[in-house]
Amino acid sequence: MMRIFWTTIILLSSYYLYRAINFRFVKEGIGPTFWNKQFWFVSHLATAVLPLITGPFQFWNWFRKRYIKWHRFLGKVYIIGCLLGGLSALYLGITQPYSGSIVPTLILASLWLFMTSAAWITIRRKDVQAHRLFMIRSYTLTLSFVFLRILSDLVYEHNFLSFIKNQDVKDATYEWMSWVIPILIIEFFISWLPSIKRLKSST
Ligand code: HEM
């Protein structure tokens, strides 16, 4: 079951990464000058790709137990990728041409920076349980890169959200959905449900 889950995540990440690079770096273009916005697109891709690639290794129990030194090294690569990818996302988020996407993108980038920093701080204090939960949150936000593009395909190719007639409202709606829904589902399983179970067993 877990094998199918992770294979699906890796295949979807690779597929949408290929399409996003093709779209931005081949078809659309990355801006006219170095600062507007070539530097930002290149550095965003070069850094944000690190957590996307290293994430599955970090959650793979067999790999972590057998190669703890690699887990530590890749963990640092993951964190640096998120922090630099998140900072460049803040800039790209503010300057993007889609006004309805600015607020959800900025909140997503800020949460990504926060969850990843928290994962780092907690493991420095050797709080493995808190570290695991913050890593789950951080990687869920990393995967919003994939969720956003799946939703975009559903909207543009399969009439998803067809009850919203205004295109800008539709775009902003699925931009919000791409990270709010995954992080709520994850919170349900790692935080709310365990609290309810604890409450039940203590009464
Ligand atoms: C999770 C936090 C993230 C945020 C807030 C974010 C934000 C953004 C923004 C605002 C843009 C520019 C959109 C535009 O102006 O057209 C962008 C583009 C891009 N991002 Fe991210 N990003 C995130 C994560 C990632 C990850 C994990 C990857 C993986 C490699 C990634 C890869 C890309 C690529 C390839 C582009 C260029 C293609 C495109 O414009 O669609 N991003 N991102």
Note the pLDDT of residue 183.
Answer: 98
Note the pLDDT of residue 202.
Answer: 73
Q: Residue 203 pLDDT more than 70?
A: no
Residue 67 main-chain phi, psi, to 5 deg = -125, 65
Nearest residue (CA) to ligand 1, atom 14: 96
- Tell me the C-alpha distance between 13 and 19, whole Å: 10
70: number of Cβ within 10 Å: 14
Nearest residue (CA) to ligand 1, atom 30: 49
Confidence of residue 198 (pLDDT cuts 50, 70, 90): confident
Nearest alpha carbon to residue 44 among 103, 110, 93:
93
Q: Residues 46, 13, 33, 103: is their CA dihedral positive or negative?
A: negative
Nearest residue (CA) to ligand 1, atom 37: 24
Nearest residue (CA) to ligand 1, atom 11: 92
Q: Residue 201 pLDDT more than 80?
A: no
Mutate to test the pocket of ligand 1, among 53, 92, 171, 179 (most ligand atoms within 8 A of CB): 92
Q: What's the N-to-C CA distance of the chain in angstroms?
A: 34
Q: Which amino acid is at 6?
A: W
On whether the CB atoms of residues 76 and 114 are closer than 8 A, the answer is no
Instruction: Give the model confidence (pLDDT) of 17-71 as tens digits.
Output: 999 999 999 999 999 999 999 999 999 999 999 999 999 999 999 999 999 999 9
Nearest alpha carbon to residue 149 among 6, 24, 7, 39:
24
97 CA closest ligand 1 atom index:
15
144 CA closest ligand 1 atom index:
1
On whether the CB atoms of residues 56 and 6 are closer than 8 A, the answer is yes
Nearest residue (CA) to ligand 1, atom 8: 89
All structural domains of the chain = 2-202 (1.20.120)
In angstroms, what is the span from residue 90 Cα to ligand 1's centroid?
A: 10
155: number of Cβ within 10 Å: 19
Q: Residue 108 pLDDT more than 80?
A: yes
Q: 111-141 b/e with 16+ CB inside 10 Å = b?
A: bbbebbbbbbebbeeeeeeebebbbbbbbbb
Q: Residue 200 pLDDT more than 80?
A: no
Quick one: tokens of 81?
A: 């990728």
